[in-house]
């Protein structure tokens, strides 16, 4: 994998920046898990403000899924980035629909990142936090029966009591993040931070991501652009409530491998 932006050292003039510059070899290559992890390092530590990063993939014509799933748009390099982002996160936030469609499983511990996570005071793997109003989830699935760390369920105060009880019997921790039936994005972010989960990653889906964007709580977008055309009427990476005005993001880095572009943008 090579870095296109910022240009590799020796091809650019250093400028002051508050955002970590991706680490790479002089020719811009990112050939190890460690160098890729450095390239995607969170800008704030455990004692800094909570940081919510979104990671999505899209085709050239804007589709976030093909045949109902994101996997056909992915690649080996995309899955490496996917794994690194999970390895850096305290918590992975995902919508219930995506859990059902993608067959979500617990995050796994990866030996390559064990020392990094231990030094940061993180458990062996990220916590999975499922956002669900109705708790229409399969509590007999591995996501709930065999995680390294208990799965969280983010829901509203009006969630069905019987489903809350079933989630807790399955070993999940239910976190109320809304006064009604649904989850309020800003409150979800606060509740996760209060649990010490400050390095946040959301993998969507498109409806959840749109809700979080409309609430103004997304700090960073990592978008893989696949060199594929799909046509059809698939959702974009955000499909839901719009923002009052378009939100301008600033590019942090662009990586490339096998025609796939791995872009990273932050607010402000």
Handedness of CA 267, 41, 190, 173 (dihedral sign): positive
pLDDT at 11 (0 to 100): 53
Q: In terms of CATH, what superfamily is 46-267?
A: Dihydrofolate Reductase, subunit A (3.40.430.10)
Show me where the domains of the chain are located: 46-267
Rg (CA), the chain: 18
Tokens 């919508």 correspond to 95
Residue 254's SS3 state is strand
Element counts in the chain: helices (H) and strands (E): 8, 10
Structure-token pair, residue 51: 């940081």
Residues 192, 175: Cα–Cα separation, whole Å: 9
Mean pLDDT by 10 residues, the chain (268 residues): 84 49 54 90 77 96 88 93 95 94 90 93 94 95 94 96 96 95 94 96 92 95 96 89 87 96 93
Quote the pTM value.
0.89
């Amino acid at each position: 994998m090579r870095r296109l932006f910022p240009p590799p050292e020796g091809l650019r003039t250093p400028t002051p920046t508050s955002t970590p510059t991706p680490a790479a070899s002089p020719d811009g290559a990112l050939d190890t898990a460690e160098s890729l992890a450095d390239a995607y390092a969170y800008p704030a530590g455990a004692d800094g403000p909570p940081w919510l990063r979104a990671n999505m993939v899209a085709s050239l014509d804007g589709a976030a899924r093909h045949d109902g799933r994101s996997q056909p748009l992915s690649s080996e390099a995309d899955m490496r980035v996917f794994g690194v982002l999970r390895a850096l996160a305290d918590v992975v936030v995902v919508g219930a629909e995506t859990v059902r469609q993608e067959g979500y499983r617990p995050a796994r511990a990866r030996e390559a990142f064990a020392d990094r996570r231990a030094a940061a005071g993180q458990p062996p793997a990220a916590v999975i936090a499922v956002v669900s109003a109705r708790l229409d989830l399969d509590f007999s699935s591995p996501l709930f029966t065999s995680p390294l760390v208990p799965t969280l369920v983010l829901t509203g105060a009006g969630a069905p009591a019987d489903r809350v009880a079933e989630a807790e019997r399955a070993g999940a921790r239910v976190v109320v993040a809304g006064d009604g039936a649904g989850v309020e994005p800003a409150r979800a972010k606060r509740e996760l931070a209060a649990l010490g989960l400050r390095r946040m990653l959301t993998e969507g889906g498109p409806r959840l991501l749109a809700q979080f964007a409309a609430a103004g709580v997304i700090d960073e977008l990592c978008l893989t652009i696949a060199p594929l055309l799909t046509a059809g009427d698939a959702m974009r990476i955000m499909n839901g409530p719009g923002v009052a005005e378009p939100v301008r993001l600033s590019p942090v880095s662009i990586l490339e491998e096998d025609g796939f572009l791995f872009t990273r943008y932050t607010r402000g």
